C-alpha cells in the first residue's frame, strides 16, 4: 500500500510539474532538477539562487518518512556543489531551502532534500526559530489549499561573510513566496533577515515585486499580465492568516533589509533645527529693531 501511494505521488507530482513548469523563475540558469524540486545553482555563492517546488495536501498529511540527516554533495551540479564539511564548526546551520519536513511523504524526496545544493548557511536561532515557524505555516497552508507552489532562496544583500573551504556565502536574508493555485488564486511573500527574531511572521510580509527587486528574478511571469500585476504588487494577509478580511489588500512600501536609522534620532534632529531657525529669526528681528 505504501509503495502504491509513493508511486501515485510520483506520477501526480510529475504531472503537477508539467502543468506548472512555466512558473519557474527567470532568468533560469544552471538549472538542477530533482524528483520533487527544481533549483538554480549559484557557483559564486555555492548555494541555490532559488528552489521551486509544489506541495499538495496529500504530501503534507502523509509526511511520516523519518529524517535521515544525510547531507550529500549534489552530483547534478556540474560545477560542483558545496560540501557538508564547509559548514562544520562554522557557527551556522545547514539550513534547508526546500524543508525536509515538506518531503516526508516519500523516501526519495526525503533523501534528495539533503542535497547540499538545497542548503544555505543559516543562523541557528533563525533556522530553528522564525524560519521553522514559517515552514510549518506553509505545510498548514498546503493542507488547507490542496496545492501550493513555493519558491524560496537567499537574498544576497548585507551578506555575513563566507564559510568553509568552498567559501559558501552567508546570506543576509532569505525569501519565501507561496502561490495558491485554487479558483481564487492568491500570493504571499516574505523576506526574513538571517538572524534571531521574536517578531510575528506577518511583520516580514512583503510584495512579490519587492522580492523581485532585491533578487533580480521574475517570479510567476507566465501568469496573465493583469493577474500577475495585481497579485505581485500587493501585500495581502487575507486567506493566509486569521483575522484579515478578504478586501484587505494594502500596499506596503519597500522595506530595507538592514535595521533602519533610529527614527527618534531623526525626529530630534529636525526638532533642534527648527528651534535653531526660530532662535535665529528672533535674533535677527531684534537687531532690526535696534
Q: Which among 48, 54, 45 is positioned nearest to 10, based on CA atoms?
A: 54
Q: Render 66-105 in DSSP notation, one character per residue.
A: PP----B--TT-TT----GGGGTTSS-EEEESS-GGGGTT
Those residues with Cβ within 8 angstroms of residue 44's Cβ, 6 or more apart along the chain or in another chain: 169
Length of the chain, please?
290
CA-based end-to-end distance of the chain = 102
**Counting Cβ atoms within 10 Å, is residue 238 exposed (0-12), middle (13-18) or buried (19+)?**
middle
Residue pair 179/185 in contact (Cβ under 8 Å)? The answer is yes
Is residue 96 among the annotated active site residues?
yes
Rounded Cα distance, 54 and 188, in Å: 15
**Catalytic residue of the set 34, 96, 139, 147:** 96
Phi, psi of 107 (to 5 degrees): -65, -35
Helix axes 225-233, 208-215, angle to 10 degrees: 90
Tell how strand 93-96 and strand 31-33 pair up.
unpaired
Q: Which three cell numbers stand for residue 187?
A: 500570493
Would you please indicate which residues are annotated as catalytic (active-site) residues?
96
Amino acid at each position: 500500500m505504501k509503495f502504491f501511494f509513493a508511486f501515485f505521488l510520483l506520477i501526480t507530482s510529475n504531472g503537477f510539474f508539467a502543468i506548472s513548469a512555466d512558473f519557474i523563475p527567470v532568468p533560469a540558469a544552471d538549472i538542477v532538477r530533482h524528483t520533487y524540486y527544481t533549483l538554480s545553482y549559484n557557483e559564486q555563492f555555492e548555494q541555490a539562487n532559488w528552489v521551486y517546488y509544489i506541495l499538495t495536501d496529500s504530501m503534507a498529511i502523509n509526511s511520516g518518512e523519518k529524517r535521515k540527516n544525510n547531507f550529500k554533495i549534489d552530483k547534478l551540479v556540474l560545477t560542483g556543489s558545496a560540501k557538508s564539511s564547509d559548514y562544520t564548526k562554522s557557527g551556522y546551520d545547514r539550513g534547508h531551502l526546500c524543508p525536509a519536513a515538506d518531503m516526508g511523504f516519500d523516501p526519495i524526496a526525503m533523501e534528495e532534500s539533503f542535497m547540499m545544493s538545497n542548503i544555505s548557511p543559516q543562523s541557528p536561532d533563525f533556522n530553528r526559530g522564525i524560519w521553522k515557524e514559517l515552514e510549518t505555516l506553509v505545510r498548514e497552508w498546503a493542507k488547507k489549499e490542496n496545492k501550493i507552489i513555493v519558491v524560496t532562496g537567499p537574498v544576497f544583500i548585507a551578506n555575513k561573510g563566507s564559510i568553509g573551504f568552498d567559501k559558501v556565502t552567508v546570506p543576509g536574508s532569505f525569501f519565501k513566496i507561496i502561490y495558491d493555485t485554487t479558483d481564487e488564486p492568491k500570493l504571499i511573500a516574505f523576506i526574513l533577515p538571517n538572524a534571531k527574531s521574536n517578531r510575528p511572521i506577518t511583520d516580514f510580509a512583503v510584495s512579490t515585486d519587492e522580492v523581485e527587486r532585491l533578487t533580480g528574478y521574475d517570479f510567476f511571469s507566465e501568469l496573465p499580465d493583469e493577474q500577475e500585476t495585481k497579485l505581485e504588487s500587493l501585500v495581502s494577509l487575507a486567506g493566509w492568516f486569521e483575522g484579515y478580511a478578504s478586501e484587505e489588500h494594502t500596499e506596503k512600501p519597500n522595506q530595507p533589509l538592514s535595521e533602519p536609522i533610529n527614527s527618534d534620532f531623526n525626529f530630534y534632529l529636525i526638532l533642534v533645527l527648527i528651534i535653531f531657525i526660530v532662535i535665529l529669526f528672533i535674533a535677527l528681528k531684534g537687531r532690526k529693531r535696534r
